[in-house]
Every structure is written in structure tokens, then in C-alpha cells.
Amino acid sequence: MKILLIAINAKYIHSNLAVYSLRSYAEKYRDYLELKEYTINHRLEYILQEIYKQQPDVLCFSCYIWNFRYVQELIAELHKLLPQTAVWVGGPEVSYEPELFLQENSGVTGVMLGEGEETFRELCGYYLEAEERSGLTQIAGLLFRENNRNLIRTPERPPLPMDKLPFCYEHLEEFQNRIIYYETSRGCPFSCSYCLSSIEKSLRFRSLSIVKKELQFFLDHRAAQVKFVDRTFNCSHEHAVEIWRYLLEHDNGITNFHFEISADLLTEEELTLLERMRPGLVQFEIGVQSTWGPTIQEIHRNMDIKLLEQRVKRIQQAGNIHQHLDLIAGLPKEDFTTFARSFCQVYRWKPQQLQLGFLKVLKGSYLYQHRKEYGLIYRDQPPYEVLATHWISYEEMLKIKLVEEMLEVYYNSGQFEMTMKVLELTWESPFYLFLELGQFYERKNLLAVSHSRIRRCQILLEFVSEKDPDHLELYQETLTFDLYYRENMKSRPSWAPDLAPYRDVTRTYCKKGKLSHLEPFWYPMEEIRKDRSLSAYPEKQKERQFYLFSYEEKNPLTGQAKAEKLNLG
């Protein structure tokens, strides 16, 4: 008997905590369990062949919005090849409206509803120990076919105490070069209408004594990154402080810990603690979603925008924590104009990254239940992304898509830091800056093409030649700075000055070969670099200034090289 757990992830660097947790919890049956991970980038035929070669008796799939269509197609083909194999599914994508899912997917035996650890262990016992098929009715948290016809739903399974969950990372070598996902709580105290976490009213925490032991394991093994999946990590002050204090006191100088937090909940004690941390020890994802009052109220979100802004800027001032802020387009009550206003407000806080996402109408969420009331038009297939609402048209949504694409390339990449500061001076609204840049790409047929960094720079120079030609030389210099700020370029940008006249200076200061680079500038790069937002265009200097870029010393938050102005006087 072989029970095969299958995870199909979005990318190779991701790992699937769910299937590892199921396997660990069913340790009693470990000899009969196998786990395989693939990605949606694998050819379906390849995964089909690999699973078929395993000849499993029972197949279990973890289902999410990004792999759901892939899994459905895979199951349909596997059912033809392995008709006697029992196929079970679990995860958020099948836990809501499971009857409809089983009606539409005849190759599936049943669904594990909600939390799966205890359910999966009992299911393993049913296949490996029980002789009577009727035993399925004794397992809580299932919906399954009886004799391939009628659907049977068993009683709901109560939430599992967090301390009962085993640690599933003993063999850390399995996760080399991949993100480790870790949870210390389940549930969420908030009721955001777009989120599935709000459905589960119970909020449970793992004991801090256990958490500290497990964190030390990651630290001892020098894991690159551990990503907490707790929905609002700092909803418990005591829990957050104890963990952050432990990380501060046991920092190994390497491991990065990622947390999803509500910044407006941060206390003075927490902020003071965070300010003491090594740059790069922790990073934050902060869901803002919208700053428009009627929308915040309509989505049942508890948030103090002014306090949130203060907290974001306070963290920023310390300069040691990477902040990733989120916005969602397509929420109720927010039209194109008010969304642009939300964007500009959050953009001006200058986080390291600003993710512009689009509402996903998730089965089971409050918004899904009220989709007609809000006029939500969205894709029938995963990821169920909104196309239009009562407040925003599809045409307007397409404009926001352009903003999103340009934001990713020219801001979130961190590769155009200096140039963007100058470019922002030309537009009152950063939203319309990115929109016009996106429309320029569209007009020139440059979208849906993979461009090199140099080409992205060239396109930007073409754009400013139209929009701000008086400062073209300044843009050329900031782009040159941006290029070398990131890496020692193999190809010299065509607009950059000839370095031959400066060979003597280069020989004197570039002692580390390719690990350093010297570049002359007419404009005061230090003035541009030190200001998060410029108030005026910098003036051209009478003499060139030289900057030495050192690639052995990179900023852990931004990845930029150390750049220092040389005093050649």
C-alpha cells in the first residue's frame, strides 16, 4: 500500500507546508507515505508520468488558487490511467462548495474539509488498517462519494490545538535554496471581507517554549529565510514581543524572518525592540489594501490610517527592516479616482516594495457571498480576479494593470532608485506617472516582451525625451548610477561617458578588480541619494564628482552596492 502526497507549487523556491505537516502528523504510517513536490511550470505530461510510475494506491492533492486548474486536469488524466486509485483533495480551494467540486470532478474520491492533519491521519488508518469501507463515515471532516454515487458529509472537525502539530523540518536538507514556511498561530481576530482567514473565528497559538526551540533549529542550521504564515503576526503583543526578542538575542547574522503584520497595532515597546535588530534580520509585509474611508468600512477592516503611516515611517527611519506594503484594486466603494488617491498616499510613504494586487473573489469569503450586491464581475476560473465592479469599469482596471506592470519594473525591482526620484518631480501624482509610462510602453508595442536592464533604461530615456527633455542629461547620469549601484556592468551603457581619461584614477581606487567600479558624474548624486523625495531638480556641478561602487559591501535591505563619493582634492 502506498499513499502519495502531491504538492504543486507556484515556483521552485516555494515549499508546501501543508503536505509536510500532514506527513509529520501521520508519522505512525510514515513507511507507507511518500511526498512529491512539483511546480506549475512543469509540463503536465511530466508530472502525469512521474505519478503513474509511483503506482500509488491513494493520491492526496493540496489545492490552492494558483494550482487548482492544473490539479483538476491532472486528476482527470490520472483517473483514466489509475481508475482504482483513490484520489483525495484538501486545501482552501476545495473546502468551500465541495459538493459542486465533486460533481464536476468525477475522478475525485473525496474532499478533506478544513484543517487536514487529524483527518489525514485517520484516513491513512482507514486505508492501512480498516477492512470495512463504511469506516469513512467515522472520520470527521470529510465529504466523499458513497459507491461512486451519493455524497456523504461527516461532522465538522474541531480545530486542532497548535501544540499537537509536530515540527516538520527535521530534514532541512530537503529545503535547500527554498523558502521555509512556518506557523505559530492559526486563525485571525479580524473580519476583512475579502479574506478566508476571517471565517475561522478561533485564534490559536503555539506555546512559546516550543516556538523558541524550533526557531533555534532554523538558526542553528543557518536557514536563509523563514517565512511566518501567521495571518496577523502581531495581533498578540506578548506573543510577538517574545519571538522578536528571541530572534534579536539569538541572531546568527544570516537568517531572515518574514512577518505579515498590522503596523498600526505596533506598540512603543515593539518599535523600540525592532529598532535594535540587525538590518535584514526581519522583514515586514503590511496589508494596507486601501486608504479610502468608505472602502475600509465596507470591507470590515479595523485600521487607523494615520497611526499606520506613523508606524511605517518610524520603522523606515531606523533603516533596518525591509517593508512590503500591499494595495488591492477592485474593493467595494473604491472607484478609479479614489484608488489612485490610495496609491499615491501609500507610495509617498516610500516602502521598499509596494505591491498592487487585484481583488480575488474567493469562495467562502464575505465578498463572494455578496458578489451580486457589489456588482463583482470576475474570472470564473482561478485566481477569480475581479474584472469590474459597480464602482470601477474593466477599461479602468486595464489602466491599473499598466500601473502595476510599470510599478514592478521601475519601483519594486529596486533597480531605478535614483532615476525614479528625479522622474517623480515631473508629475504631481505618482499613479499617473506610472500610468503614462505604461501607456508609452503600450503605444510603442513594448508590453509582453522580456527586456534587459539596459533596454529598460533606453526605453525610459525615450520616455523622458518626450516628457522632460530639458533634464535628459540628468536622467542619463541617474540611470548610469542605478546600473552600477546594482552590479558591475559587463556592457557599458551607450550614453555613459568614456572612462579612458580616468584610467589613472581608476587604477588608484579600484583595487578589487570586478568587485569595484569608479564612475564620474556632473550631478550631485549624494544629494539625490540622501533624500527619499526630491523637492527640486539638482543643479549640475562645475566639476565632475567620482563615486566608488564596492560590490562586496551590499545593503541587506536593498541589494545596492556601497557607493561613496571620493574626495580627490
Give the 3-state secondary structure of residue 300: coil
Q: CA nearest 431: which of 352, 327, 534, 528?
A: 327
- pLDDT(185) > 50: yes
Q: CA nearest 453: which of 421, 389, 410?
A: 410
| Residue 514, CA distances (Å) to 75, 105, 199, 428 in order | 51, 57, 54, 40
Residue 273 has a pLDDT of 98
| Residue 375, C-alpha cell as written in the block | 456588482
For range 85-97, the mean pLDDT: 94
Residue 531 has a pLDDT of 83
Residue 569 has a pLDDT of 57
Residue 189 has a pLDDT of 83
Residue 132 has a pLDDT of 46
Q: What is the DSSP letter of 169?
A: -
- Spatial distance between the Cα atoms of 338 and 367, rounded to a whole number of angstroms: 20
Residue 136 · residue 142 · CB < 8 Å: yes
For range 459-479, the mean pLDDT: 97
Least confidently predicted of 131-140, 402-411, 529-538: 131-140
Residue 409 · residue 456 · CB < 8 Å: yes
β pairing state of 545-554 and 150-153: unpaired
pLDDT tens digits, one per residue of 276-312: 999 999 999 999 999 999 999 999 998 999 999 999 9
pLDDT tens digits, one per residue of 391-443: 999 999 999 999 999 999 999 999 999 999 999 999 999 999 999 999 999 99
Q: Which residues pair with 225 in a beta bridge?
A: 256
Least confidently predicted of 80-94, 183-197, 315-329: 183-197
- Spatial distance between the Cα atoms of 454 and 459, rounded to a whole number of angstroms: 9
For range 539-543, the mean pLDDT: 94
Q: Which residues pair with 386 in a beta bridge?
A: 378
pLDDT band at 176 (very low <50, low <70, confident <90, very high): confident
Q: What is the DSSP letter of 538?
A: P
For range 453-476, the mean pLDDT: 97
Helix (H) or strand (E) holding 143: strand 142-146
Task: Tally Cβ neighbours within 10 Å of residue 100.
Answer: 11
What phi, psi does 365 have (nearest 5°)? -80, 165
Tell me what the pLDDT averaged over the chain comes to. 94
Residue 56 · residue 85 · CB < 8 Å: yes
| CA dihedral for 342, 194, 188, 250, sign (positive or negative) | negative
What phi, psi does 530 have (nearest 5°)? -80, -20
For range 374-391, the mean pLDDT: 96
Cα 205 from chain centroid? Answer: 23
- Residues 363-385, buried b or exposed e (16+ Cβ, 10 A)? bebbbbeebeebebbbeeebbbb
Least confidently predicted of 36-40, 532-536, 565-569: 565-569
Full-model pTM:
0.93
Residue 146 has a pLDDT of 82
Helix (H) or strand (E) holding 63: none
pLDDT band at 201 (very low <50, low <70, confident <90, very high): low
- Spatial distance between the Cα atoms of 141 and 155, rounded to a whole number of angstroms: 6
Q: What's the maximum distance between 2 C-alpha atoms anywhere in the chain?
A: 90
Residue 245 · residue 282 · CB < 8 Å: no
- Spatial distance between the Cα atoms of 71 and 39, rounded to a whole number of angstroms: 11
What phi, psi does 543 have (nearest 5°)? -130, 155
Winning range, highest mean pLDDT, from 159-173, 451-465, 520-534: 451-465
Q: Which residues contact 20 (CB under 8 A, 6 or more apart)?
A: 35, 168, 169
Write the burial class of residue 569 (CB in 10 Å: 0-12 exposed, 13-18 middle, 19+ buried): exposed
Residue 217 has a pLDDT of 97
